[in-house]
Amino acid sequence: MYKIFAALFATMIISAILVPFVRKFAIKVGAVDKPNARRVNSRPMPTLGGLAIFIAFNLTNFLFLRTQYPQRQLFALFLAECIIILTGVIDDIYELKPKQKLLGIVVAALVVYYIAGIKMTTFSIPFIGLFQLKWLSMPVTLIWIVAITNAINLLDGLDGLATGVSIIALTTSAITSFFFLNNVGVFVSIMMLTLVAAMVGFLPYNFNPARIFLGDTGALFIGFMISIFSLYGLKNATFISLIIPIIILGVPITDTVYAILRRILNKKPIFEADKHHLHHRLMQMGLTHRQTVLVIYGIALIFSFISLLFPLSSFWGSVALIIATLLGLELFVEAIGLVGSGRQPLLHLIKRMVISSSDTKELYKSHHKNNRR
């Protein structure tokens, strides 16, 4: 146990030491994020920050913690990570098209599926029973990896936002895996915490005012690893094991789902960028850059606390938690106008119910007064 804690501390230090060197390298190769109408940064900012996280994470895994992991999976995952990192580095320097980035993610996902053997194989449906995915296993696994990877990538819009939210999500996942998911090996929690340590070392350079961005190198890498870690608990997926990672990743998933819905309703291409993401809306409401990040950290913590209730709840308790979470989330989304100021069906329904209740009370009072006369 001491060796593991020492390795985690070493990971954090290695990451912090590497960042200034990665920053200089990013400037030298032209991996710089320049301000434009869609960007929040007001000055050119070096990217490739994820490179420091990747190097620190893997140095620790291979030098200090190698005996803790299944060797085949460790090397297969490293190969997949290299594909993701290469995709991100090329994108940060030359800016790839969405389809080209998607190709890189899919190739890395295929390595995970066929070489590492990390995949969804069965799904247990309440009141129905066990469902064998069979030929669906591969497309379902790939869709999950691509969706989670892109969700984290879309969240990377403010200084320290994606890094901090990912730290919260991965720490919660590590706790859940270690204490509640018996089918997940302890090594998965160790690997998650190693990645957390690497991100903690990077965060001081990335938090507002940032000196370096994650870039697609970091956002794709972190999102990809989160998707892989969650798959360990979804190999034989159940209702609860599927819901827990979705709730833990509530912030990036919510932002992605409502971005897709917003673009469909506005008849815009799904991959077309806009300035109506969660962090954009909060800043448009008057919050500062740092306040917005801290508020989203708070939302991520709320999702994490809710996720920890699921392993302790009964099936119907979990259903009640899901309904309450969805209702609260929808009210919040409508209140900040994430889909659009005119699209607030639940708020309008509540207003109509309140007005109707008020009118009913007035009619009752009027009728009561007339009877007394």
Q: Give 79-130 pLDDT, tens digit per residue.
A: 999 999 999 999 999 989 989 999 999 999 999 999 999 999 887 777 677 7
User: In this structure, are 36 and 91 located in the same domain?
Assistant: yes
Residues 336 and 350 in one domain: no
3-state secondary structure of 313: coil
Task: Tell me: do 130 and 8 sit in the same domain.
Answer: yes
Long-range contacts of 300-307 (CB under 8 A, 24+ apart): 300/164, 300/165, 300/168, 300/169, 300/250, 300/251, 301/168, 303/247, 303/248, 303/249, 303/250, 303/251, 304/168, 304/169, 304/171, 304/172, 304/248, 306/247, 306/250, 307/172, 307/176, 307/244, 307/247, 307/248
Alpha-carbon distance of 18 to 284, in angstroms, equals 35
> What's the domain count of the chain?
2
Give CA–CA dist 51/221, Å, rounded. 9
Same domain, yes or no: 311 and 351:
no
Q: Cis omega before residue 46 (within 30°)?
A: no
8-12, 102-106, 246-250: which range is least confident on average? 246-250
Q: Taking 70 as the threshold, does the pLDDT of residue 313 lie above it?
A: yes
Amino acid occupying residue 117? G
- Give the tokens for residue 371: 């009877």
DSSP classification of residue 65: S
Residue 310 and residue 356 in one domain: no
* Domain co-membership, 323 together with 365: no
Residue 251 sits in the same domain as residue 364: no
| Residue carrying the six token digits 């819905």 | 261
pLDDT band, residue 166 (cuts 50/70/90): very high
Q: Average pLDDT, stretch 168-183?
A: 85
pLDDT at 19 over 90: yes
Dist CA 256 CA 249 (whole Å): 11
Residue 78, pLDDT > 60, answer yes
Q: Are residues 201 and 318 in the same domain?
A: yes
Residue predicted with more confidence, 327 or 180: 327
Specify whether 257 is located in the same domain as 284.
yes
What pLDDT does 346 receive? 82
Structure tokens at 233: 């608990």
The pTM assigned to this predicted structure is 0.90
Is the domain of 130 the same as that of 204?
yes
Identify any residues that bridge with 123 across adjacent strands, giving them in sequence order: 131, 237
C-beta atoms surrounding 131 within 10 Å: 12
In the chain, the amino acid numbered 176 is T
Domain span at 366: 344-373
- Closest by CA to 277, choosing from 302, 299, 303, 251, is 251
236 forms beta bridges with: 122
Is the same domain home to 89 and 188? yes
14 and 135 assigned to the same domain: yes
- Is 70 exceeded by the pLDDT of residue 359? no
